[in-house]
A = this chain, B = another copy of it.
Amino acid sequence: MADRSERSGVEILCVGTELLLGNILNGNARWLSEELATLGLPHFRQTVVGDNRDRLIALVQEIAQRSRVLIVTGGLGPTPDDLTTEAIAAAFSVPLEERVDVWSDIQEKARSRGRTPSPETRRQALLPVGAEVLWNPTGTAPGMIWTPVPGFSVLTFPGVPSEMKAMWKATAVPWFRSSGLSKGVFVSRLLHFWGIGESTLAEQVADLLEGVNPTVAPYAGRGEVKLRITACADVSSKAWVLVDQIEQELRQRTGNLCFGVDEDSLASVVLKRLGQTGQTLSVAESCTGGGLGAELTAVPGASSVMLGGVISYSNAVKRDLLSVPEDLLTQHGAVSAQVAEAMALGVRRLTGSDWALSITGIAGPDGGTPEKPVGLVFVGVAGPDGCSTEMLRLGPTRGREWIRIVSAGEVLNRLRLRLMVND
C-alpha cells in the first residue's frame, strides 16, 4: 500500500448509479485503463460509486490522500442527479463560480442545433474557483482540470464514451505528457498458446513471470492460454526490443504451442497459412453444429479459403449428405473415430476442398453413456496426404458451450500443426 503521506499513481473513479445496478458495462474504465497503460502512467485502483453527494465527497477526499491524479467520469450532465462537479468542489470546501465562456459555449451549441438551452444546462457552467476548463468538443458538458491541493489533481469527463474519448485525446493526453508523471513509454504484445494449461505454461516460464521489465503475465481463455509481455523504455523502439527478446525466449521454450500474437486466433492463423499457398478448406460438424464454420468465417476475408461445409447434426444428414456408410454408424456409433474420418473425407470430396475438418462428439448435458461420456469428442483432419483422427476427452464439468468451443479449437490446432509439418 502506498504510504498515505506520499501520493502516487493515477486512479479512475466512475460515477453512476446505472453502473452499480449493472445496467451498463463499464467500458469507460477499460478504455481509460488502456490509455493509462500506453502512456506509462502507474494505475493501481478503480472505483465505481453511485450518484450520491456524501459518498462522492468522502471518496474524493480519500483518494486525494493517496493518489497524484484522479480521473472522474460521469455525473457532469444537467439533471439533478449529476453531482460530480459540486461534490468535488465541496470535498475541498471551494465554492463554485459560473464561467462566462462555458455558458456562451453551451448557448452556442444549443443554437447550432436550433434549440434554446434549458435553464438546467446552465448548471454545467459552474466550476470550482481555480479550476481550468477541459473543453468538450462535441457535447455541452465541459470537464475540468483542477489542482485543489498541491500534489493532487483531478480531471473530469462526461460519461458519454464518445465525448470522454474526444476530450481525453485533445486535452488530457497533452496534460499527462507534460506532467512528468509518465515513466517512459510502455508497449505490449500478447502471445497465444494452444495445447497447454495455464499452470503448466506458468511453470515452464516461471522465471520470466518474475521479471520486472518486461513483465510477463498469463491469462486463461477457453482452451487457450495467453501471455502478455509489457516493456517500458524512454522511447518505444527500445521497449519493442525488450519485448522481442522475451518473445524469442518464450517461443524457444514452448515450441509450436504458441500459435499467434495480438489479434490472431486459431482460425485466422490457419486461414492465413492456407491462403498463402492458395489452398481451400471445408468443415463437417456434428456436435458443434456450425460453431467451427462460424469461427472460421468470423475472420474477414475468409471466403478466399473457406468454401463451406455440412452441419451433419442428425445421422441421416451424415449418411445422405456426407456419405458416411450406414454400417459405420450402426457398428461404431456417430461418435467414433471411424465416423469422424468418414465425415472429413465426405465433406472434402463433396466440396472439392484441399483440407477438411470434422467434429463429432457428445456435448451434453444429456446423451452420455459409461462408454461414451459427455465430453467425448472425435475430430478429423483430411488433406492431400490423408486423414487423421483423434479422440478428445474434455470431461462433462465445464458444460456444453465449453466442450463445443474447445472441440473447434482442438481441430483447428491439429490442422495448424499438420500444415507446419508440411512446410
| B contact residues around A309 at 8 Å (CB) | 290, 310-311, 313, 317
| B contact residues around A291 at 8 Å (CB) | 290, 293-294, 297
B297 and A307 within 8 A (CB): no
- Cα distance A332–B288 in the bound complex, in angstroms: 32
B217 and A21 within 8 A (CB): yes
Indicate the size class of the contact surface on chain A.
35 or more
* Residues 96-133 of A at the B interface (beta carbon under 8 Å): 109, 112-115, 118, 120-121
Does A48 sit at the interface, judged by CB under 8 A? yes
Stretch at the interface among A252-260, A381-389, A392-400: A392-400
Does A17 sit at the interface, judged by CB under 8 A? yes
From B115, B137, B199, contact of A79 by CB (8 A): B199
Does A364 sit at the interface, judged by CB under 8 A? yes
* Residues 20-55 of A at the B interface (beta carbon under 8 Å): 20-27, 29-37, 43-50, 52, 54-55
| 10 pairs of residues in contact across A and B, judged by CB atoms under 8 Å | A1-B54, A25-B25, A29-B48, A115-B197, A138-B397, A282-B317, A288-B297, A290-B290, A294-B404, A306-B314
A residues in contact (CB < 8 Å) with B:
1, 17-27, 29-37, 43-50, 52, 54-55, 57-59, 77-81, 109, 112-115, 118, 120-121, 137-139, 160, 162, 188, 197-200, 202-203, 206, 209-210, 217-220, 228, 230, 282-283, 285, 287-298, 300-303, 306-314, 316-317, 320-321, 350-352, 364-367, 393-402, 404
